[in-house]
Amino acid sequence: MERRFNLINLGWLTLLVLLILLSRVVPISHEVSSNLEAAHRAAEHDLPAQAAQHLGTAAERQPWRTDLWELAGHYAIIANNPVLAIEYLEDGKENTSEGLSLHGLLDLGDAYYEIEERNAAVNSWERAHQQYGPSYETVDRLMQIYQEAGDYHTGISMLEELVELYPDDANLHFELALLYASLGEVKDSQEALKRAAELDTNLIDAVESLQDNILLAQRQSDPAYPPLLICQGLAEIHKWRLAALACEKSLQLYPNYAEAWAYLGLAHNQMSKEEYPITDSDGFPELQKALELDPNSLAANSLLAFYWIDKGEYDLALETMQEAIQLAPDRADLRVDLGALLALSGDLQNAYQAYQKAVELSPSRTAYLRHLVNFSLKYDYQVEQVALPSARKAINIDSEEPANLDLMAKVMIHLGDLNSAERFAHRALEIDQDYAPAHLRLGFIYLFRGEELAAYQALTKAAALSPGTPVADQAMRLISTYFP
């Protein structure tokens, strides 16, 4: 799991209001009451630094008040002043008999983490875990640290504790399955994947993708190949740190494995973009190593093309991608990648031909028709001539696939036919009522019609059904724009 700061949505403003109300029932000094009121005004006007200062002053006047020290520290963190937050929270820890609460210890660890005092951060988070037991917030933070240190087994133990506490949480089972897979514990991984899919149908695609790689890995006699297959499966669902771990296991067994070097390069490239990267490599040295070991490696050539795309070097990317296609001319997925690259470079006609070639190479796979339709919509390329008939063809091939029906809804929105768009979105939801993209599509439709309540409900549903996905991100952007 990736560590996430949830600084404002923990109810701290509500807690501040409650303290003010309580102060009117239980008499306190005028100075403390005035500071609480001033802190509340500052927080309401989005002035966290001033709120922290007023709360700190109040805490100094009543140093036994853990709640005041913790509030002061929390607002100092929101104000991007971790040093001051540490001062307040450490004072709270020293001056009060009961010590810090769970959120106080988490904030203290966060503040130390921000100033790169990793050991102090770990001590605070581990104390929270020991004192208050397993929680999402604590495990999320500790998992970050353990992964940075390569201590994945401790991470598994903590996740197992959370799974026992929350046995019906699909995401916990899924994260645990990914950790098991990266360490080669395939049996445990399969069981956790199965449970995750049972609990949340939105995870089925990702689960099936990784399960396919695990099953294939189990049939290999070459010991270096199974971890590479698992690395590829983890990369497909963008679990880069765990993918890198699996690739490194493969390279430990066979140091000259070009494909493993290539996928390690991909993982390092993506990890280098993280807020706190744990590698100095941007992936290029590993990709170069892969090509040195095997210039005809399809993985090395295709992934190097993605590297150049990421750097904005489209000419180099196009050259490398064409070399990859020469190595595997019947790979439809490579034609899709070529189409995306050509579209980025502005060559829409040749991009269309690349997408069309992908469809011709795999005519029964509606996924490639969806790629073609999305290209047409994104670049407004002959929508009625390309997107509309291709979306119809996808439905003709598989009318029970929600993605095909949702895609037609998307086309209809583009063409301004909101009634037809709504009908196709509802058809998708009749097949799978939890299909988040269809709820997003309905949100668009209702916004265009001015039906605000229905739009808000649909967008909220889309976000809730697909946390951490582009669909959820888009839904949340629309909510923040239209329902501030």
**pLDDT (mean) for 200-210:** 83
| 445 neighbors 425 (Cβ within 8 angstroms) | yes
Q: In Å, what is the CA distance from 378 to each residue of 39, 348, 381, 411, 416? A: 47, 11, 8, 11, 15
Residue 273 pLDDT more than 90?
no
Q: Are residues 142 and 23 in the same domain?
A: yes
| 123 neighbors 106 (Cβ within 8 angstroms) | no
**pLDDT (mean) for 318-328:** 94
Computed on alpha carbons and rounded to an integer, the radius of gyration of the chain in Å comes to: 26
Residue 361 domain-assigned?
no
What pLDDT is attached to residue 6?
Answer: 40
Q: Helices 102-114 and 82-95 sit at what angle, rounded to 10 degrees?
A: 140
Q: Are residues 139 and 229 in the same domain?
A: no
For residue 432, which of 467, 392, 465 has the smallest C-alpha distance?
465
Does 158 or 295 have the greater pLDDT score?
295
What six digits make up the tokens of 76?
Answer: 């100092």
The percentage of the chain sitting over the pLDDT mark of 70, rounded to a whole number, equals 94
Residue 327 domain-assigned?
no
Q: Are residues 242 and 116 in the same domain?
A: no
For residue 274, which of 153, 147, 151, 178 has the smallest C-alpha distance?
147
Of the listed ranges 164-178, 343-357, 362-376, 401-415, the least confidently predicted one is 164-178
User: Residues 6 or more apart from 470 whose CB is under 8 A from it?
Assistant: none
Q: Are residues 129 and 213 in the same domain?
A: no
Q: Is 381 left (phi over 0), alpha (psi -120 to 50) or beta?
A: beta
Residue 337 domain-assigned?
no
Residue 383 pLDDT more than 90?
yes
Residue 22 pLDDT more than 50?
no
| 124 neighbors 93 (Cβ within 8 angstroms) | no
pLDDT digits over 428-453, tens only?
999 999 999 999 999 999 999 999 99
| 426 neighbors 434 (Cβ within 8 angstroms) | no
| 300 neighbors 287 (Cβ within 8 angstroms) | yes
Q: Could you tell me the sign of the dihedral formed by the alpha carbons of 285, 287, 288, 289, in that order?
A: positive
Q: How many CB atoms lie within 10 A of CB 155?
A: 23
Residue 428: helix, strand or coil by DSSP? helix
Q: Are residues 302 and 404 in the same domain?
A: no
Q: Are residues 411 and 287 in the same domain?
A: no
Reported confidence tier of residue 24, pLDDT bands at 50, 70, 90: very low
Q: Are residues 216 and 136 in the same domain?
A: no
What pLDDT is attached to residue 458?
Answer: 96
Reported confidence tier of residue 2, pLDDT bands at 50, 70, 90: very low
What six digits make up the tokens of 402?
Answer: 């929600």
Amino acid code (one letter) for 127: R
Of the listed ranges 12-16, 57-61, 314-318, the least confidently predicted one is 12-16
pLDDT digits over 355-371, tens only?
999 999 999 999 999 99
Q: Which residue has the tokens 């500071």?
A: 35
Amino acid code (one letter) for 287: L
Residue 342 domain-assigned?
no
Q: Of 123, 147, 171, which residue is a domain's last?
A: 147
| 458 neighbors 439 (Cβ within 8 angstroms) | yes
Residue 186 domain-assigned?
no
* Buried/exposed 164-194: b ≥16 CB within 10 Å, e otherwise: eeeeebbbbbbbbbbbbbbbeebebbbebbe
Q: Are residues 21 and 117 in the same domain?
A: yes
Reported confidence tier of residue 30, pLDDT bands at 50, 70, 90: low
What pLDDT is attached to residue 151?
Answer: 86
Q: What are phi and psi of 90, to 5 degrees?
A: -65, -35
Of the listed ranges 3-7, 87-91, 107-111, 238-242, the least confidently predicted one is 3-7
What pLDDT is attached to residue 204?
Answer: 83
**Average per-residue pLDDT for the chain:** 89
**pLDDT (mean) for 454-479:** 92
pTM of the model: 0.73
pLDDT digits over 113-165, tens only?
999 898 999 999 999 999 998 888 898 888 878 877 888 888 888 889 889 98
Q: Containing domain of residue 460, as a range?
A: 399-484
Cα 107–chain centre separation: 22
Q: Where are the alpha helices (DSSP H) in 237-272?
A: 240-253, 258-271
What six digits make up the tokens of 341?
Answer: 């690259």
pLDDT digits over 78-108, tens only?
999 999 999 999 999 888 777 899 989 999 9
C-alpha span between 315 and 317 (Å, rounded): 5
| 115 neighbors 140 (Cβ within 8 angstroms) | no
Residue 267 domain-assigned?
yes
What pLDDT is attached to residue 19?
Answer: 52
Residue 386 domain-assigned?
no
Residue 7 pLDDT more than 50?
no
Q: Are residues 19 and 142 in the same domain?
A: yes
Residue 81 domain-assigned?
yes
Q: Are residues 134 and 32 in the same domain?
A: yes
For 207, how many CA atoms within 13 A lie in the half-sphere containing its CB? 23
CATH of the domain at 91: 1.25.40.10
What pLDDT is attached to residue 10?
Answer: 44
What pLDDT is attached to residue 32?
Answer: 77
Q: Is 257 left (phi over 0), alpha (psi -120 to 50) or beta?
A: beta
| 268 neighbors 241 (Cβ within 8 angstroms) | no
Domain count, the chain: 3
What pLDDT is attached to residue 3?
Answer: 37
Q: Could you tell me the sign of the dihedral formed by the alpha carbons of 177, 179, 184, 188, in that order?
A: negative
What pLDDT is attached to residue 18?
Answer: 52
The helix or strand, by DSSP H or E, that contains position 407, with its residue range, turns out to be: helix 402-415
| 152 neighbors 146 (Cβ within 8 angstroms) | yes
What pLDDT is attached to residue 1?
Answer: 33
C-alpha span between 98 and 86 (Å, rounded): 18
Q: Are residues 291 and 214 in the same domain?
A: yes
The helix or strand, by DSSP H or E, that contains position 317, with its residue range, turns out to be: helix 314-327
Q: Of 132, 147, 162, which residue is a domain's last?
A: 147
